[in-house]
Amino acid sequence: MKNVKTLLLFASVLLIVACSSDDDSPSTPKSTLKITLNGVQPLDGDLTYEGWIMVDGLPVSTGRFNTTSASTTKNFSIATADLEIATAFILSIEPKSNDDPAPSNTKILNGTFVAGAATLSINAMVGNFVNAVSPFSGSFIKATPSDNTGGIDNGNDDYGIWFIQNETTPGLINLPTLATGWKYEGWVVFNSGSTPVTTGKFTMASGVDSASPYSGNEPVPAFPGEDFLSNLPTGVDGNINGLPVVISIEPDVPGDATTPFFLKPISGTEGVNGNALSVTTNINALINGTAQIN
């Protein structure tokens, strides 16, 4: 019995020493990374924002979040050792369902740290719409080639939109090249602005777009566009006369919403100015931010 008591006493001493050792271990020093975002609107669909700092040339996540308004401030507690040598901040868009340890190709803002602060810009991450040498110009036509059996026009051109000047000439001249991780998507907005309907996704002014869910079966021009003839959303008649037309920039990420993303730099209205499309050139003035190490 005496030996048993001695063993129990020895075990208790070891446990107390171990706990004391754990309590005395220093915690990792943390500092605050403050992110201020302007124009970065809440994400729809199965998407989330994720911040990253570049440390020794490698991305380190600062955390995932969504915004609740176009102007947002977020504070993150990050290891001081990482923040002291961080060279840049990046904001990416990620699928909620796949927490990858590296950022996706879809990055919306970035900036380089100088004296603990970074100014965040969209231009290098998405695309530069300021081009004084070769400025963008755009237009579209009404046509429904996908139901013109034998090439005979059915006379229902009010039910289709094509971003062309004619069958061989694109309507989107000097379309800015998007960064990897982004695609354009055309939309016609029906029902007094309440129902945007896609014309398909694309990356270039020439070449077919990603889908033709509402078109017929006859050949169509090798350009972005859509005929609104069948399988339309409830309440949409397909007639585009007088309706707003938008080209958005969409995240090329699984889980992208079926409604337009908040980047909508190109727009026009059917029947106005010869169906011309205008572009918001300096989107960086509308969508930007800062990252501050405190």
The answer to whether 175 touches 135, Cβ cutoff 8 Å, is no
**Distance (Å, whole) CA 101 – CA 146:** 45
Q: Which of 15, 3, 104 is nearest to 51 (CA)?
A: 104
The β-bridge partners of 53 are 60, 89
pLDDT at 129: 85
In order of their start, the domains of the chain are 30-126+286-293 (2.60.40), 137-282 (no CATH)
**Distance (Å, whole) CA 183 – CA 254:** 13
How many of the other CB atoms lie within 10 Å of CB of 257? 13
- Sites in the chain below the pLDDT cut of 50: 1-24
How many of the other CB atoms lie within 10 Å of CB of 197? 21
| Residue-wise pLDDT tens digits, 246-287 | 999 999 999 999 999 999 999 999 999 999 999 988 888 889
Q: Which of 52, 108, 35 is nearest to 286 (CA)?
A: 108
Q: Which strand ranges, in their side-by-side order, compose the sheet holding 71-79?
A: 71-79, 30-38, 288-293, 117-120
pLDDT at 268: 98
**Distance (Å, whole) CA 143 – CA 220:** 10
